[in-house]
Amino acid sequence: MGGREAIRGFVVQTLVCLLDSLQPTKEAWTAVTIEPDSDNDKVDILWEFPGSTHAQQVKSSKNQIGRGDVVTWCKELKASGKADSYELMLAGPIAAAVLEDAPFDGVDVPPPASLDTLALIDQAITKIDRYLSAKTITPLPLPIRESLVNIVSANLLEGAVHGRRLSREEFDGLLLRWITVAFPEAIERRMSANCDVLWSCIELAGPTDIAKSAFELILPLTVINGGISTAVVEWFLLRVSTNDREMRYRPLSVLSEATGGTIAERRNTARPFGDFAIPPEGAVQQAILFDPIKRNGYATDRWPEGPHEVELFVKYAALPEPHLVKKVLIPITMDEFAVLGSLNTRYIAVSCLDNYLDVL
């Protein structure tokens, strides 16, 4: 076999190792070595499992691989005596008798892999995706997955030159490190990808300063963390707009969980809003009082009558940008203005279903 074919065969061998390491059936493996030290150089990949080892030899050819060659390779692999079980991995066209008569000398011969390295890379990309999903990492863009496969293959090739033994823990750690280098946002998203914010109503209240006429808003929010890492909420933001008018609301305080009492009493027992954490598989409920932001370009006066679009954003500590929770349309009528100058509040349900029904 010429130099170009030898390099191609070794690339195929490396990719086969990568694909095999991501197979569900290989979840129990503890370590893998490519090109381990061997007197007769028959073992290409040596897998270690608790209490056992599994040796693989990889053969590739653009010409048809016949039964006679396979029998010889299996006999030589078994004679190496390097493992408890053996497998001959083939890449390229093979004779029908190979699969019909396998195994040979106790050496398994599975269906052949493609000799097309691009096809193997496509398979690796898919298996990388499944592997990352199992690690609760959000799917990566296709170019990043392609780069990741190339990075892993290159590192496996480098390790093969020295016959390096790679433990499962090292493999996981290296893979996550390579992901961080190639696409650091993936790890950041892991922290908050499984968080949801439940928001069902807005409570309108009159401002504490009677000279003001803009509503204060109370939102009962529940943040649910379905991930395996603690998530941290830094802040929420409300954007209220109608026609050419826009308001921004920031969280001011967290009202007491106790129900009942006037809005003044609830304000007196409130605590300032601040960062809070949601443990894995946990949830946090807060009734948050929002106050209009005074800044050029944003209104702070009385809301006009009519429909208002309200958008709720959340900012997680692990993400660089805020995330839109929900966008709803709420009606403001004369009835809502009754809370101004009083100690009463008024609830308005927020439902995306109502918005959807309006367009049917």
The whole-angstrom separation of Cα 355 and Cα 173 is 46
Quick one: tokens of 131? Answer: 């592997």
pLDDT tens digits along 151-182? 777 777 776 666 778 888 887 777 777 766 66
Single residue among 183, 210, 234 that ends a domain in this structure = 183
What average pLDDT is seen over the chain? 81
- Whether 29 and 168 share a structural domain: yes
Are 166 and 272 in a shared domain?
Answer: no
pLDDT recorded at residue 145: 75
Nearest in space to 192 (alpha carbons), one of 276, 128, 280, 133 = 280
Q: Which of 126, 150, 183 is the last residue of a domain?
A: 183
Residue 111 scores a pLDDT above 80 = yes
Number of structural domains the chain divides into: 2
For residue 207, the domain's CATH number is 2.60.40.1890
Give residue 220's domain range: 192-358
Domain shared by 146 and 211, yes or no: no
Interatomic CA distance for residues 234 and 224, integer angstroms: 15
Query: Which residue did the predictor score with more confidence, 140 or 294?
Result: 294
Query: Which whole number is the average pLDDT over 96-119?
Result: 86
Picking from 166, 183, 200, the residue at the C-terminal end of a domain is 183
| Cβ-Cβ contacts under 8 Å for 304 (sequence gap 6 or more) | 242, 243, 245, 332
Highest mean pLDDT among 240-244, 347-351, 353-357: 240-244
Same domain, 141 and 241: no
- What is the distance of C-alpha 137 from the center of its chain? 3
Distance of CA 147 to the CA centre of its chain: 17
Q: Of 30 and 211, which is predicted with more confidence?
A: 30
Quickly count: other Cβ atoms within 10 Å of residue 50's Cβ: 7
| Model pTM score | 0.50
Shared domain for 202 and 155, answered yes or no, is no
pLDDT band at 1; cut points 50, 70, 90:
very low
The CATH number of the domain holding residue 15 is 3.40.1350
Q: What angle do CA 165, 53, 97 make, to 5 degrees?
A: 115
Residue 243 pLDDT grade (very low, low, confident, very high; cuts 50, 70, 90): confident
What pLDDT score does 149 carry? 77
Q: Is 226 in the same domain as 134?
A: no
Mean pLDDT value of segment 223-247 = 89
Per-residue pLDDT reduced to its tens digit, 133-149: 776 666 677 777 777 77
Cβ within 8 Å of residue 244, ≥6 positions away: none
Q: Are the C-beta atoms of 175 and 39 separated by less than 8 Å? A: no
Same domain, 238 and 318: yes
Same domain, 163 and 306: no
Residues 75 and 24 in one domain: yes
> In sequence order, which residues have a C-beta less than 8 Å from that of residue 348 and are 6 or more positions away?
201, 202, 203, 204, 330, 331, 336
Q: Are residues 201 and 329 in the same domain?
A: yes
Residues in the chain: 360
Do residues 196 and 177 share a domain? Answer: no
Are 205 and 161 found together in one domain?
A: no
Whether the per-residue pLDDT at 2 is higher than 50: the answer is no
Rounded-to-integer distance, Cα 110 and Cα 90, Å: 8
Structure tokens at 250: 């920031």
Q: Measure the CA angle with vertex 122, ends 118 and 127; round to 5°.
A: 145
